[in-house]
């Protein structure tokens, strides 16, 4: 699983100013308010650590080291791009991209947003053979 490691550094490589901006976005994002509420109520599925909001996946409830950092809307496209488009391995499919994100991160409607991103990735559309009936009606 070493191809997921670069994602782990998405946040650790940032400067303090960038980290503070991330923290502010995470705190102010209205789509995350319900998760802050749960964490503040002492829920077992969301936790606040060092001022940052994390999701605790069911399977990791007993070990703190597998918590998922909750990603605010402003950062979601970047996270999806980093998970989908890697210089070494190329462009991952929808399922692989989801797995890579879920190993470290969480955000609402992640499955849908990843699917939309991958389906509309310009590079993928240039490389892959045309799939005429690929799209589901909404
Ligand atoms: Zn792509």
- State in Å: Cα 101 to ligand 1 middle: 15
In a domain? residue 134: no
More confident residue, 43 or 8: 43
In a domain? residue 97: yes
Separation in Å, CA 119 to CA 31, 108, 136: 24, 19, 11
In a domain? residue 115: yes
Report the CATH number at residue 45. 1.10.340.70
- State in Å: Cα 56 to ligand 1 middle: 29
For residue 28, what are the domain limits?
2-127
Both structure tokens of 64: 């703190």
**pLDDT digits 0-9 by tens, 44-84:** 899 999 899 999 987 655 555 578 999 999 999 999 999 99
d(CA 45, CA 59): 10
* Per-residue pLDDT, 74: 96
d(CA 58, CA 20): 28
Its pTM stands at 0.79
- State in Å: Cα 83 to ligand 1 middle: 10
In a domain? residue 132: no
Total of domains in the chain: 1
Question: CA nearest 14: which of 67, 65, 78?
Answer: 78
Q: Which pairs with CB-CB distance under 8 Å and at least 24 residues apart come from 125-128?
A: 127/91
d(CA 3, CA 137): 33
- State in Å: Cα 64 to ligand 1 middle: 32
- State in Å: Cα 43 to ligand 1 middle: 36
d(CA 47, CA 28): 16
């Amino acid at each position: 699983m070493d191809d997921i490691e670069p994602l782990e550094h998405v946040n650790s490589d940032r400067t303090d100013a960038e980290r503070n901006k991330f923290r502010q976005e995470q705190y102010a994002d209205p789509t995350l308010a319900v998760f802050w509420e749960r964490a503040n109520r002492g829920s077992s599925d969301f936790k606040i650590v060092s001022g940052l909001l994390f999701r605790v996946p069911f399977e990791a409830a007993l070990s703190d080291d597998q918590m998922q950092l909750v990603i605010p809307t402003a950062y979601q496209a970047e996270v999806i791009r980093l998970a989908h488009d890697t210089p070494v391995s190329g462009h991952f499919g929808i399922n692989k991209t989801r797995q890579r994100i879920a190993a470290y991160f969480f955000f609402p409607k992640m499955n849908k947003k990843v699917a939309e991103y991958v389906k509309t990735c310009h590079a993928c559309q240039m490389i892959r053979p045309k799939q005429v009936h690929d799209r589901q009606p909404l």
